[in-house]
Amino acid sequence: MHEDVRRKLEEQVGNEFHASFTYLSMAGYFEAENLPGFARWMRTQSEEETEHALKLFDFLVDRGIAPELSALPKPHHAFEGPVAAFAAAFAHEQGVTKQIHALYEVALEKKDYSAQVLLQWFISEQLEEEKLTGGILERLKMSEGSKSALLILDNELGSRTEGGE
């Protein structure tokens, strides 16, 4: 494996773990706001991001590399409300999409075909993540000011199953 691809994959492992911590921090925020459905959705999202990190980690290990992990930045934990929290989540997903695209470009440039195949999955996953998170954000904006609409959405998000809304 080319050194540039390895380094970018290791970096993305950290990015995915940071995403997991970010969503877990958001879950804590929603718990404190007595919105358990939003909290459950964020906790499930956190678990999914951990799975993504491990998928990349295992890819490196399968190629005979002992991944070098870095310290994670502290995630934001206070928000001005549910809309602000989901706006941050949506912006975070857009950032991850850019990270994955940059990683794919390096794999393409270095002709690492197996990394390209792996990253195709991540590219599709990010399309889904942005659609899902952005959709919830738009629904929150529509319900802004209506506590009953917020509680209905909280109830709906609390029924999220792994990998879905």
CA distance 51 to 49: 5
Per-residue pLDDT reduced to its tens digit, 82-125: 999 999 999 999 999 999 999 999 999 999 999 999 999 999 99
pLDDT computed for residue 165 by the predictor: 47
Specify the pTM: 0.92
pLDDT computed for residue 144 by the predictor: 85
* Three state DSSP letters for 2-29: CHHHHHHHHHHHHHHHHHHHHHHHHHHH
For range 134-151, the mean pLDDT: 94
Instruction: Go through the domains of the chain in sequence order and give each one's CATH number.
Output: 3-68+77-158 (1.20.1260.10)
Per-residue pLDDT reduced to its tens digit, 34-56: 999 999 999 999 999 999 999 99
Which tokens in the block code for residue 48? Answer: 């999914």
59 pLDDT band, cuts 50/70/90, is very high
